[in-house]
Amino acid sequence: MNFLRRLLGTNVPSPMERLRATESGSIIDRFRSNSPIWLVRSDTMKSIANGMSERLGPDVLRTLRYAARDEWAMMLSESNITWKGIDPSSWREFDRLWKGDGHLHASMIMDGEVTRYVVESTSLASIAAGSFSAALEHALQNNIRVGVESQNEGAAFLSVEMLEQSELGPHLLNRRNPSNERMPGNMLEIDEIEIDKEGVLTLFNAPLSIVPLRLFTFWERSSSHLLSIDGEESSKEWSEHLGNSVAKAFIDSGEMIMIEDEGSWAEVGKNQISKWGLGILDSVSLMENTLRIRLRSDAQYCIPRGILTACLQRATAKKITPKESRYDSGFELLFDLNR
């Protein structure tokens, strides 16, 4: 059996089989060694990337491509999946893995002796291009240089240059996955989610993307040169830009939020944070017109902070920037409602 597994490669489970919900509000991806993910509308992810581009310039979409390449390279190195050859149509179960993440098609195009590729996604061409370059490098077992010949928001044409034969370098983050301690988790049960005929997860016919939370860490690292300051302060700047982009994307989504009292925040936490893998609200209190929210999350805290800030804005028509601090097991947000 082990010989057959090595020969045929790893079976790729369907998206809903891959994902597990934990008691701490995370969603973990079995195919990514139980790394936590964010299950997010593809349009929301587009809006976040566009917001980052407005704040940091268009190069942030290029660094997102690099981050997606590194993330997929890590995923493939953690799996026993085996692909060979230059044509993705011959890669066993590639389509299931590719479309499960929210992408559409990846095709090889022959133009005389020149090989090109076209990738399409329900989310961002930058993510699709980066992920595909890692998949192709994995299949060829050789370093490559991928050029983007043309690109729009959802599709890109790619050229490939083979580099000198070399051992592929590791794409490393700290491999300790925060959610490993909470395995095995429960089957993900969100009644409204379906898998369409293309194999993409949808919510009320709107496509969803599986976005690994470590993608944002790779993205921040590859974007350090775009930030105006260095060192620890640069991480604060990144968090501010990402949190604001998340908040704007949530506002633009048109999500309806009803908050009558502090008890309503339990439903907000369940439906807008925990349900999609962004953590859990430990407590909510309202004293002297100050809203105090304590939460835990495997995500960079600016992501759930952005969503909670947007929820408050949708409910009150006030844009309030919270004060932030750490506590023993998580993060605390203080919203001054007098502003």
Q: Report pLDDT digits (tens) over 64-74.
A: 999 999 999 99
Q: How confident is the model at residue 335 (pLDDT cuts 50, 70, 90)?
A: very high
**Quick one: DSSP state of residue 197?**
T
Q: Between 42-56 and 59-78, two packed helices, what is the crossing angle to 10 degrees?
A: 130
Residue 207 has pLDDT above 80, yes or no: yes
Residue 136 has pLDDT above 70, yes or no: yes
**Which residue, among 219, 225, 230, 229, has the nearest Cα to 302 in the 3D structure?**
219
Residue 229's pLDDT is what?
Answer: 81
Task: Give the number of other Cβ atoms within 10 Å of residue 240's Cβ.
Answer: 15
| DSSP run (H or E) holding 128 | helix 125-140
pLDDT of 8-46, one tens digit each? 456 788 888 899 999 999 999 999 999 999 999 999 999
Residue 185's pLDDT is what?
Answer: 66
Residue 258's pLDDT is what?
Answer: 86
Residue 100's pLDDT is what?
Answer: 92
Residue 180's pLDDT is what?
Answer: 43
pLDDT of 273-308, one tens digit each? 999 999 999 999 999 899 999 999 999 999 999 999
Q: How confident is the model at residue 181 (pLDDT cuts 50, 70, 90)?
A: very low
**Which residue, among 277, 257, 198, has the nearest Cα to 20 in the 3D structure?**
277
Sequence spans of domains, the chain = 2-162, 230-336
Task: Give the number of other Cβ atoms within 10 Å of residue 334's Cβ.
Answer: 13
For 323, phi and psi rounded to 5 degrees? -85, 145
Rg (CA), the chain: 20
Domain 230-336: CATH architecture, name and number where available: Alpha-Beta Complex (3.90)
Please report the beta strands in the chain, taking only residues with DSSP state E, as ranges in sequence order. 19-21, 27-29, 35-41, 103-111, 114-121, 144-151, 155-162, 186-187, 193-195, 201-203, 206-212, 280-287, 290-296, 323-327, 330-336
Residue 177 has pLDDT above 60, yes or no: no
Residue 189's pLDDT is what?
Answer: 79
Lowest mean pLDDT among 45-49, 107-111, 175-179, 316-320: 175-179
Q: How confident is the model at residue 173 (pLDDT cuts 50, 70, 90)?
A: low
Averaged pLDDT for residues 139-148? 91
What one-character-per-residue DSSP string does 6-45 give? HHH-PPPPPHHHHEEE-TTSBEEEGGGTTEEEEEEEHHHH
- Alpha-carbon span 92 to 32, nearest angstrom: 18
Residue 2's pLDDT is what?
Answer: 44
- Alpha-carbon span 326 to 310, nearest angstrom: 21
Share of the chain above pLDDT 90, in %: 66
Q: Between the CA of residue 169 and those of 86, 136, 143, 330, what are the distances in Å?
A: 20, 15, 9, 34
Work out whether strand 201-203 and strand 280-287 pair parallel, antiparallel, or are unpaired.
Answer: unpaired
- Alpha-carbon span 179 to 292, nearest angstrom: 25
The verdict on domain 2-162 having CATH code 3.30.1380 is yes
Side-chain half-sphere CA neighbours of 231 within 13 A: 1
Averaged pLDDT for residues 253-266? 87
Burial call 203-215: b when 16+ CB within 10 Å, e when fewer: beeebbbbbbbbb
Residue 202 has pLDDT above 80, yes or no: yes
Residue 5 has pLDDT above 90, yes or no: no
Same CATH fold, 230-336 and 2-162? Answer: no
Q: What is the pTM of this model?
A: 0.90
Task: Give the number of other Cβ atoms within 10 Å of residue 328's Cβ.
Answer: 7
| Structure tokens, 138 | 């994995």
User: What is the rounded average pLDDT for all residues in the chain?
Assistant: 88
